[in-house]
């Protein structure tokens, strides 16, 4: 069976119709080039070129063989390019977990930025709650997760990629003067709270904030998802506090207003296993470290 080097020599000579120029293109001397052509002709049992002291021409067999030989050489070159690109993280796939709330603003912005720099990589998006992302990272089902802190697993590395404020959600029928403006204003008000088992991060965060403000709201519901919280506010079940990125959802009959004593404390983390050998993940992390979505506070200062 012939070898790739022999096909490459044949295709180059066929394109140049000159052994000297072909040898120069291949960075080799003419004698080994001629030997490769002779070996290929012996293997194929056909003459590929008419040679004379003044010209080199393809035979009928050489002309017929050229298209297939060129295709094989092109495929081999493409395979080499693909392998090198994959090793450099420019080809392949990255599986990415994300919480529903991170999909409101952060994820679309980051993916738009990343896909420009990694256009040869496929991103497999998987919506998961934070606890499910941790398990999926540990089992290798996803390469990176965008989740709520803390991860509390020594096998994972993480960094904060976004901090934002809470904003107040009120039903549109509530007069502006009666809408809570500070955490203390929520005392005895009907509030839709996050469920401790399925939205622990938000539950613990708000519980701590209300305790610091000495506010004891009347908790009318405990839910897991932000869009469910907004639906209940829209139905007139009470007030709520949601991350600022929720402003993009525009629910009917819900009015958003600033929380005056709010700090950008709602965090979103990226987490991954440092042992993950996916080259595309390494490139993604490089981009993530340099990109970083600015916090709400930073955006307002700009």
pLDDT of residue 152: 78
CA distance linking residue 183 with residue 214, whole number of Å:
9
pLDDT of residue 119: 82
Which percentage of the chain shows pLDDT scores above 90?
64
Tens digits of residue pLDDT in 250-292 = 899 999 999 998 888 999 999 999 999 888 898 899 888 887 6
Q: Residue 300's pLDDT band (boundaries 50, 70, 90)?
A: very low
Mean pLDDT, to the nearest integer, of 5-26?
92
Q: Residue 302's pLDDT band (boundaries 50, 70, 90)?
A: very low
**Beta bridge mates, 256:** 169
User: What is the overall mean pLDDT for the chain?
Assistant: 88
pLDDT of residue 54: 83
Structural domains in the chain, sorted by start = 4-87 (1.10.10.10), 92-162+267-301 (3.40.190.10), 166-258 (3.40.190.10)
DSSP characters over 67-116? HHHHHHHHHHHHHHHHHHHHHTTSSEEEEEEE-TGGGTTHHHHHHHHHHH
Q: Which residue has the higher pLDDT, 118 or 50?
A: 50
Contact 259, 268 (CB under 8 A): no
pLDDT of residue 192: 97
pTM score, whole prediction: 0.68
Q: Residue 101's pLDDT band (boundaries 50, 70, 90)?
A: confident
Token digits for 150?
């803390």
pLDDT of residue 277: 86
CB atoms within 10 A of CB 110: 23
Region of 76 please: left (phi>0), alpha (psi -120 to 50) or beta. alpha
pLDDT of residue 301: 32
Residue found under tokens 């009666």: 178
Which percentage of the chain shows pLDDT scores above 70?
94
Mean pLDDT, to the nearest integer, of 165-175?
95
Percent of the chain as helix, strand, coil, to the nearest 5: 45, 20, 30
CA distance linking residue 234 with residue 212, whole number of Å:
28
Mean pLDDT, to the nearest integer, of 203-208?
94
Mean pLDDT, to the nearest integer, of 139-157?
90
DSSP H or E stretch at residue 274:
none
Tens digits of residue pLDDT in 26-82 = 999 999 999 999 999 999 999 999 988 888 999 999 999 999 999 998 888 877 766
DSSP characters over 13-68? HHHHS-HHHHHHHTTS-HHHHHHHHHHHHHHHTS--EEE-SS-EEE-HHHHHHHHH
Q: Which residue has the higher pLDDT, 241 or 74?
A: 241
């Amino acid at each position: 069976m012939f070898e790739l080097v022999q096909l490459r020599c044949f295709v180059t000579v066929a394109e140049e119709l000159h052994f000297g120029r072909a040898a120069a293109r291949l960075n080799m001397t003419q004698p080994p080039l001629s030997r490769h052509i002779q070996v290929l002709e012996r293997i194929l049992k056909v003459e590929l070129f008419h040679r004379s002291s003044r010209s080199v021409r393809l035979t009928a067999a050489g002309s017929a063989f050229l298209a297939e030989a060129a295709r094989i050489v092109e495929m081999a070159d493409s395979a080499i390019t693909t392998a090198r690109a994959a090793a450099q993280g420019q080809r392949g796939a990255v599986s990415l977990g994300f919480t529903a709330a991170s999909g409101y603003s952060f994820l679309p912005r980051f993916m738009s930025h990343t896909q420009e720099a990694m256009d040869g990589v496929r991103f497999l998006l998987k919506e998961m709650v934070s606890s499910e992302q941790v398990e999926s990272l540990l089992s290798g089902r996803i390469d990176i997760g965008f989740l709520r802190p803390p991860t509390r697993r020594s096998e994972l590395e993480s960094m904060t990629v976004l901090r934002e404020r809470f904003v107040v959600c009120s039903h549109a029928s509530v007069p502006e003067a009666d809408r809570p403006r500070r955490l203390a204003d929520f005392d005895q008000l009907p509030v839709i709270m996050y469920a401790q088992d399925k939205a622990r991060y938000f539950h613990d965060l708000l519980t701590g904030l209300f305790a610091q403000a000495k506010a004891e709201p009347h908790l009318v519901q405990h839910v897991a998802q932000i869009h469910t919280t907004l639906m209940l506010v829209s139905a007139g079940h009470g007030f709520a506090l949601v991350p600022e990125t929720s402003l993009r959802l525009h629910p009917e009959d819900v009015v958003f207003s600033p929380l005056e004593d709010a700090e950008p404390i709602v965090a979103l983390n990226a987490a991954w296993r440092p042992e993950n050998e996916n080259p595309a993940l390494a490139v993604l992390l490089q981009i993530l470290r340099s990109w970083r979505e600015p916090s709400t506070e930073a955006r307002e200062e700009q």
